[in-house]
Amino acid sequence: MNEILRLETISKAYTSGAGRRVQVLDAADLCVNAGEIVGLVAPSGAGKSTLLHIAGLLDNADSGRVYISGVDTSQQSDRRRTATRRNDIGFVYQFHHLLPEFSALENLMLPQMANGRSKATAEARATELLASVGLEARGHHRPAEMSGGEQQRVAFCRAMANAPKLLIADEPTGNLDPETAERVFVTLVKLVRETGLAAVIATHNHELAARMDRQLSLSGGKLIPL
Ligand SMILES: Nc1ncnc2c1ncn2[C@@H]1O[C@H](COP(=O)(O)OP(=O)(O)OP(=O)(O)O)[C@@H](O)[C@H]1O
């Protein structure tokens, strides 16, 4: 088994403005292998986004450890962890967050060039990625010139642009009508399967979650199988 993500006894609490302490995660454990898609289905406020932010190295846990490909990121410097996040983790959110003034191709080239790829190499990969989601004809369109489903497929490609090992997706189809959500979800699964990524996908959609390899929920701050 090629373990990509391991969370060990992750705890996180927030203190509200009124001084009330909310223990969102309480010694949560998770292990995801390469090629595995894990669905995270839990009620609103259960802590899905908090967990994904910690797993994606966007936020720190109060205690516990996050391993990416066996490396304990809790022991890394901030700089090193930022590099791990940029190189090894791709993110998809409910809203596409593409840069509005740039074309689809440019949106896929920029993160690669920021990681040191040449313009020509970045463009070749961007073109290949767009073709893999059936959007070869949309490369020169800006986000506003594409449908919601197309925008989200470009966002998936952007998450894959730097060939990450781990994909973190927070409600990736939450903003789409059911039919488009279905089509976009199929594309996401195809991309993940082709690349052998490990993926953690939070969704409110039980039907989509049922088609992932494993489904987990959050209860009392812990991850439990569904
Ligand atoms: N910065 C913060 N300060 C205080 N409380 C917070 C903060 N961020 C999140 N919370 C609280 O932590 C809990 C978990 O939030 P989180 O966003 O992780 O839930 P979620 O499961 O992703 O919810 P949703 O499905 O509605 O997006 C909620 O009760 C939320 O109000």
Check residue 30 and give its pLDDT: 97
Q: Atom 5, ligand 1: which residue's CA is nearest?
A: 14
C-alpha dist (Å) from residue 203 to 49, 176, 209, 215: 10, 12, 7, 10
Query: Distance, CA 49 to ligand 1 centroid (Å)?
Result: 7
For residues 119 and 133, give the distance between their C-alpha atoms in angstroms, rounded to a whole number. 21
Collapsing DSSP to helix, strand or coil, 74 comes out as helix
**pTM for the structure as a whole:** 0.93
Check residue 188 and give its pLDDT: 86
Alpha helices in 22-147 (DSSP H): 48-55, 78-88, 104-114, 119-132
Check residue 149 and give its pLDDT: 92
b/e code 173-210 from CB counts within 10 Å (16+ = b): bbbbeeebbbebbebbbebbeebebbbbbbbebeebbe
Check residue 194 and give its pLDDT: 87
pLDDT digit string, tens, across residues 84-136? 999 999 999 988 899 999 999 999 999 999 999 999 999 999 999 999 889 99
- Residues at CB less than 6 angstroms from ligand 1: 14, 16, 22, 24, 42, 44-50
Q: How many H helices and E strands in the chain?
A: 7, 10
Reply yes or no on whether the pLDDT at 217 is more than 80: yes
Among 50, 93, 205, residue to substitute to test ligand 1 (most atoms within 8 Å of Cβ) = 50
For residues 40 and 218, the answer to whether their CB atoms sit within 8 Å is: yes
How large a percentage of the chain has pLDDT more than 70?
Answer: 100
